[in-house]
Structure 1
Amino acid sequence: MFCGGATRIKEHLCDKCTDDSPEFLALKESLLGAKGEKGKTLAAKRAHDEVADSVAAGEAKAKAKLGQKSIQSSMYSGKSEACDKAIGEFFYGLNVGASKVSHPLFKDLVEALKTAPASYQPPTRQRMLGDLLEKTTDTLKAEERPVRGEVLKYGGSIISDGWDDVNSSHLINAVAKLLIEQITRIGPPMVVQVVTDTCSVMKAAWKLVETKFPWITCTCCGPHVLNLYLKDLGKIEEVAAVIKNLTRSPTPS
């Protein structure tokens, strides 16, 4: 709060309020028209309050228009943008597929880094190829040991998505080589058909297999095609409405 003459109050106004501006002239007129020192002081106070309210309202309006955030909110926003930038540069700089951001391993990595202390330092290349690699390998082997034991005891099938490897490199030659090696191991005359899914990598591998063994026919997986067909069928509006209204039967005790 400030009480004083028109000239003094003018110093508290914005730069646009020059000596001949309407705002300043109106303020000066109201002050000079006041009677007595008390009236002059009260008029100055009222004028100053009006100007202060006007300036405050203008600032509030400008902040609302610009969506100005608090200092803490701005800091968090800046840190989030820095994280996005670092992740984006890592993925695109190393040619890592963008789909990997939804991989559980990447999500686990992000969650682990959130709890890391400020003094944490990422492992060096020597550690990645040394004790850290050995520790990780031992852990994964221990987790798969029960499954591996069952497969070796009762048999099993090797299943691959057939798309790419961890470096997003296509596996056309690798898949074809794997199929050819297994056919050779079993005995080429004993194999007449190879059945896989219908992704582009598998279709390309078919040609390599059929070139190597002209009597072998490569075809798509019937159940896989049926699964895709049912999935598309379920997207039809009328079918989706029926599925949505279905209720699961209680499991018998």
Structure 2
Amino acid sequence: MGFSGNDAIHKAGWAVARFFYDCCIPFIYSNSVYYQPMIDAIATIGPGYKGPIYYAIISNLLHEMKKEVELLVEKFRNFWKDIGCTITADGWQDRRNRQLINFLVYSPKGISFVRFVDASDVVKDARILCNLFIELLEFIGVANVVHLINDNVSYYKATRAMLNEKFPSIFWSPCGAHYLNLILGDIGKMEHMSTLAKSVSDITKFMYNHRFLLAWLRKRQGWKEVIRPGATCFETTFIALKNIHEYKHDLQILVTSKDFIDSRYYKDKKENRFVEVLMNTRFWNDCAIIINIVALLIHLLIIVVANDK
């Protein structure tokens, strides 16, 4: 693509976009608070600026950035002394099945990430977990901590009891998102709900395993992708159920369309289950009832886990 000599802004935009495309950088990263300052710094120097090489980014510049973060955390420590803070222990499992814990400190001045722990070998040992929390509390300052939030699983409960004896001044509370997930999980285990969840799972698997059907649905006006039910995120099942219910008419039109009837799927007896579910009035009525029951829980969960709250 060619540009005129007077189109410097367009040329600069094209150069940035090409970098994103070539490196497969998600476009949402252009919303980073550091994106425009980076461009401003380069523009200040002008043409001919040589960007930092790979080695500089992973060594000298990284060390400088680490020092800057340490100074920022130290600045936050002063705020913690003045107004107190809340510690959040965010436990999660990565793709390698490691049990990880992120420790974050909240205060009215902002949020600080202070420590990451691979607790795979000790996560169910309340005594060792207790020692991890003690180390963290001593780093932050016991007198500065007024509140601690963690999951409500059994080993965290045991850890909480031990720490309560040692630090009675600290107020403890379970994670709201974890509680809501447990509630949705209990609802999902109910016999009737598990049957509905199985039907939703069958529908999404059938759709996404057959390109012809998915291509047909994607041509429908207003169609959006359906979230597949997940084994570890209870809310995903209910969100998928809600999305399936929203596309009820599109799905019913699909299985009654000439394209589907003339296809090999319609003649395959193994796929009759897909059609039977979509044309079952009771299934759709049950979906509507469950959606109304859990709608407020899902809405509350979205609020609780939102990054801007």
Question: Into which bin does the TM-score normalised by the smaller protein fall?
Answer: 0.3 to 0.5
Relative to the length of structure 1, the TM-score reads 0.38
Relative to the length of structure 2, the TM-score reads 0.32
